[in-house]
Amino acid sequence: MAVKFLYYFIFIFIGIMLFLLYQKPYDTQLTEESKNEPNIDMFDATNYSIAEDGISHIIKASRVLRFLNHDEFYNLDIIRKEQSGLSDNIKADSGKLVKDNLYLEGNINYRNSDNVKLRSQRAEYNLKTEIAKIDADFVLENNKITTYGTSLVYDIIKGKINATNIKSIVREDEK
């Protein structure tokens, strides 16, 4: 009985192998339409970046779409903790990550632990050079100064801000 079972098994195995051998391989073709469709679609995604001293970034989005050449984020909320103890938070309606450039759109609100606030509708941030650019109207505030302008370049590493068409309001404490 066991020998008959072995023969049947070998016969079925050879039959399946011959069937698979003569099948046409499955091949996908990339078209322009498929490049515009996301490969991955995630809802309520949270990304934690862990460093030696703990969590350095928490990135939350209500929806993330991963395409072949870029990623898209919706209702983006990024919390970052620096080694110096400073922390900052940025929120935006949408974002697009293309290679090392993060493009933010709609209701961008930035706040750090030094009580610096920035609001705009459009921004670009390079992850490698750590340079933020805003080519739209912005409002930059801290405890004593409110600055309005039309474009801004902020080099985070050097701590330098270049802005154009600015108007500032300075609040002076009474003496």
DSSP-derived secondary structure for 4-37? HHHHHHHHHHHHHHHHHHTSPPP-----HHHHTS
**Model confidence at 115: pLDDT above 80:** yes
**pLDDT tens per residue, range 37-88:** 888 899 999 998 888 888 888 999 999 999 888 899 999 999 988 777 778 8
Supply the pTM of this predicted model.
Answer: 0.73
Name the pLDDT band for 160 (thresholds 50, 70, 90).
Answer: confident
The tens digit of pLDDT for each residue in 18-36 reads: 888 888 777 767 677 666 7
pLDDT-derived band at 149 (thresholds 50, 70, 90) equals: very high
Are the beta carbons of 167 and 149 closer than 8 angstroms? yes
pLDDT, residue 165, reads 87
> What are the E-state strand segments in the chain?
40-51, 54-66, 71-81, 87-98, 101-112, 117-126, 131-134, 138-141, 145-149, 151-155, 160-164, 167-170
Arithmetic mean of pLDDT over the chain = 86
